[in-house]
Structure 1
C-alpha cells in the first residue's frame, strides 16, 4: 500500500557481457491504465538493482503504448547475470497532462500503439494550465508612488517577472 510504483519483473534471464545498453523484456504489458489512454508512466531503476551493479536507464512510457514494457540496462561490472523474475525496475504512473488539456480536440500526433523507442513528433509542451497559481501579495514602490497587487511571480537567475 505504501509503494509509489509498480515493480517490473524480467521475463527472461540475461547475462550482460558488454557495457552497452541492452533491452530486457518484462512480464508487464502496457497500457499502464485503461482509462482511455490518459495515463503514462515513468520507468526507474530500483535502488536494490543499483547496489547489485545493474544500471537501469530511465524512460517514459506513453499512455497509448500497447506492448510489453522493456527495461534498458547496462553494467560496469562484467559479466553480470540477471535472473528471470528479477525486480530491477518500477513504473510510476501519472496522468497525461497534455492529453487532459487537449480533450475533445484532434490528436496532434499518431498513436504510438505497438511502436517504441523514439519520438512520434518534434513537439515540446513547455507550459501547462495551472489551477493553483503561485500568487503573492506585493507592493511596488517607485519614489513616493506605490501600488499593491496580487502577482504571479517567476524569479530567474538575474531577473524577476511579475504578471
Structure 2
C-alpha cells in the first residue's frame, strides 16, 4: 500500500504572467543511475488551473528536476513550498535489454532532448503467441497461422 509518487514543491515564489510554459525549480535531484521517473501534476495544482506537462526523467539525469507548467488564465502566483507535481519512480528496464550495440550515455544534467539517438525497439514475431486455425468455406479448408493479441478489434483475412 501507500503512494506511488512523491510530491514535488516549488523552491521559490513563481508568478506566471502569460500562457507560455515555464520551468519551475523544485530543488530535487534524484540519485544518479538509480531509476528513471515520470513527472505528473498533483491533483490540487490542477484544481487551481495549473497545467503541468508530463515528462520522462532519464535514469542517468543528474540535474535539478524542474516542473514545466503553464496556465490558461494568467496571472497566477505560486508561493514557495507549493506542491505542484508528483514524481513516480520507474525501473530502468533498458539496461537489462540487449540491443546489439551500446547506447551512448549523454544524460548528465542537460535534460530536455538529451536522451541520445533515436532507437527502434521491436519484438521477434516468432516469440509472439500464435495459433493455427482452420478456415472452412463451401467444403474447402485452409489452415492458417494467426498472431494472437494484436490489439486490433477486427482481423481481416483475404
Q: What TM-score, normalized to structure 1?
A: 0.76
CA distance in 2, matches of 1:94, 1:160: 38
CA distance in 2, matches of 1:61, 1:92: 10
CA deviation map 1:18-54 (0-9, x unaligned): 21111111131023xx6xx262111011111011111
1:81 and 2:53 aligned: no
Q: What TM-score, normalized to structure 2?
A: 0.78
Report SS of the residue matched to 1:60.
strand
1:97 and 2:125 aligned: no
1:55 and 2:51 aligned: yes
Which runs of 5 or more structure 1 residues have no equivalent in the other structure? none
1:38–1:100 CA contact under 8 A, matched in 2: no
Which residue of the other structure, out of 41, 60, 63, is the alignment partner of 1:64? 60
1:3 and 2:9 aligned: no
Closer, same or farther: CA 107–85 of 1 in aligned 2, 3 Å: farther
Which runs of 5 or more structure 2 residues have no equivalent in the other structure? none
CA distance in 2, matches of 1:102, 1:113: 23
CA distance in 2, matches of 1:160, 1:6: 46
1:126 is displaced (CA, Å) by 4.0
CA distance in 1, matches of 2:21, 2:151: 39
The structure whose Rg is larger is: 2
